[in-house]
Amino acid sequence: MNDTLTNTVSTDLFKQHQERIHKNNLVSEKENQALKDSIKELLKKNNATLIAHYYVDHQIQALAEEVNGCVSDSLEMAKFGKLSKSNLLVVAGVKFMGETAKILSPEKKVIMPTLEATCSLDIGCPAEDFKNFCSQYPDREIVVYANTSAKVKALADWVVTSSIAVEVIEYLDSLDKKIIWGPDKHLGSYLQTQTDADMILWDGSCIVHDEFKFDGLQKMKKLHPDAEVLVHPESPKEVVGLADMVGSTSQILNSAKNSKSKKFIVATDKGIFYQLLKNNPNKEFYEAPTAGNGATCKSCSQCPWMGLNSLKNLEEVLKNLDNEIYVDPQVSLQANKSLSRMINFKS
């Protein structure tokens, strides 16, 4: 990640992130249960559907499962929201996920527990800057990661998630398309390695995955030589090079479930551990090392923006029905084209 972005988000945000983790640990189970019961009633009252990402608090994930909502990666979240019969979608994740739900279902009301939950990849790829970048290469197909704003998606020919990125790039390469990729440079580098496609990369990265370290992971592999290493492709290439399997959140979950191995080292946001442990009670999972603990790491393998979602603000948004996602109609129309290509690619 560039230094400007690091400085922009690292001071108050990460301090608040650590304080919030500590505060959440002090909430009693009785208080949490009261919040869950209230949320269930409000979801039913408002005929609302809860859609949550694998990286949000495990209690929100569990609640979404209990109420027949959705807990998934960003691709499946988008599909679920589009197919939902509910006219009110509650998206627990980060803002681009809410925008995606609104673009694909403009007739539905989309609300979020907080509108402050964004993404370092989104922040690091302003639409006007990206437009100027793309204008230098007018002969190239523009492919952007789902972790971008609606305005950036509106500039793109394709939107992809990490679960289908390799296949889409392979498809475009087979058509002799040259590609502009944004914003994650690590995922872009991985795609180049996997496909040999002609790609020009935007310089962006995820604050969580960018912190996984080669040296630390190598040492952990020596401590657990029988463990499989599962790595998200937003991680640096040196870390990816140590992986037994590289994939999206859903692919990591599937790999752990289907593998005969009993031990795993996992390099992605620690929010995924709820699903990993629930689905594999007889297997062991270890967090891949980041830059350290406490003051020596920034995210400590947990997205501070995902952490802004809580049972408390989920209850509040269902009471007030505010925090609504709005997308400019013209932007939505353009972004829908690239998003629909993603949705329909494997349908």
Question: For the segment 40-71, what is each residue's pLDDT rounded down to a tens digit?
Answer: 999 999 999 999 999 999 999 999 999 999 99
DSSP 324: B
How confident is the prediction for the chain on average, in pLDDT? 92
Handedness of CA 166, 57, 324, 84 (dihedral sign): positive
Token reading at 160: 């992809």
4 — pLDDT class (breaks 50, 70, 90): very low
Residue 244 CA to residue 323 CA, distance in Å, equals 41
- Stronger pLDDT, 25 or 118, i.e. the higher one: 118
φ and ψ of 182, to 5 deg: -155, 160
Q: What's the pLDDT score for residue 186?
A: 98
Mean pLDDT of 115-129: 96
User: What are 286-326's pLDDT values in tens digits?
Assistant: 999 986 554 455 668 889 999 999 999 999 999 999 999 99
Angle between helical axes of 29-45 and 58-66 (0-180°, round to 10): 40
The two structure tokens encoding residue 108: 């539905």
Q: Give yes or no for residue 16 having a pLDDT over 80.
A: no
Output the CA–CA distances (angstroms, integers) from residue 38 to 33, 42, 44, in the order listed: 9, 6, 10
Q: Give which of 251, 123, 239, 111 is closest to 186, Cα–Cα.
A: 239
Domains along the chain?
Answer: 3-117+304-320 (3.40.50.10800), 121-206+328-345 (3.40.50.10800), 209-296 (3.40.50.10800)
Rounded to the nearest 10 degrees, how much is the dihedral formed by the CA atoms of 83, 86, 88, 89? -40
What token pair was written down for 167? 């296949």
Q: Are 273 and 266 in contact (CB under 8 A)?
A: yes
- Kindly report each contact of residues 252-257 with a partner whose C-beta sits within 8 Å and lies 24 or more positions away, as own/partner: 252/276, 253/54, 253/279, 255/228, 255/230, 256/228, 256/230, 256/280, 256/283, 256/285
DSSP letter assigned to residue 147: S
CA distance 202 to 142: 11
User: Could you report the per-residue pLDDT of 224-251, keeping only the tens digit for each?
Assistant: 999 999 999 999 999 999 999 999 999 9
DSSP per-residue string spanning 47-88? TEEEEEETTS-HHHHHHHHHTT-EEE-HHHHHHHHHH---SE
Claim: this prediction has a pTM higher than 0.85: yes
Residue 148 and residue 259: Cα distance in Å, rounded? 32
Please state, in angstroms and rounded to a whole number, the distance separating the CA atoms of residues 253 and 251. 5
Using only the alpha carbons of the chain, give its radius of gyration: 20
The answer on pLDDT for 199 being more than 60 is yes
Mind listing the pLDDT tens digit for each residue in 219-228?
999 999 999 9
Q: How far apart are CA 2 and CA 277, in angstroms?
A: 34
